[in-house]
Amino acid sequence: MEKKSDKQPKMHIKSGDTVLVIAGDDKGKKGKVLSVNIQKRRVIVEGLNMVTKHVKPTANSPQGGIEKKEASIHASNLMLVDPTTGDATRIGRKAGDNGKLVRYSKKTGEVING
């Protein structure tokens, strides 16, 4: 019987990163990552993949109505933007100074903080 691992899968994107959309309706647009769902491998990017949501009137919002909000995008459709050059880059992992894994840009070889 296989043992189930409790470890979370690694993702190349973290919240706070700037990403470039490489597929879909918003292809070519850049935005800041608001949140990441690691299990579903989906990311919410500020101002991208906007959907209309009908909100029912409640005690908190008696008006109700229609509001626009960001929907999630699959992580495979996003590429991290290198903070130094501003270009999209692939990500690698290597041991840092303290022995922990750090992300680095495959284009420039520089460590990406975050």
N residues, the chain = 114
Instruction: Please measure the distance between the N-terminal and C-terminal CA atoms of the chain and give it in whole angstroms.
Output: 37
Q: What is the pLDDT along the chain (114 residues), one digit of tens a residue?
A: 666 666 777 889 999 999 999 999 999 999 999 999 999 999 999 999 999 999 999 998 889 899 999 999 999 999 999 988 899 999 999 998 888 889 999 999 999 886
At residue 4, the pLDDT reads: 65
At residue 45, the pLDDT reads: 96
At residue 20, the pLDDT reads: 96
At residue 9, the pLDDT reads: 76
At residue 23, the pLDDT reads: 94
Contact 22/78 with Cβ under 8 angstroms?
Answer: yes
Domains and CATH numbers, the chain: 18-54+64-112 (2.30.30.30)
- Kindly tell me the number of DSSP H helices and DSSP E strands found in the chain: 0, 11
DSSP state of 114: -
At residue 1, the pLDDT reads: 61
Q: What is the pTM (predicted TM-score) of this model?
A: 0.81
Give residue 53's identity as a one-letter amino acid code: K
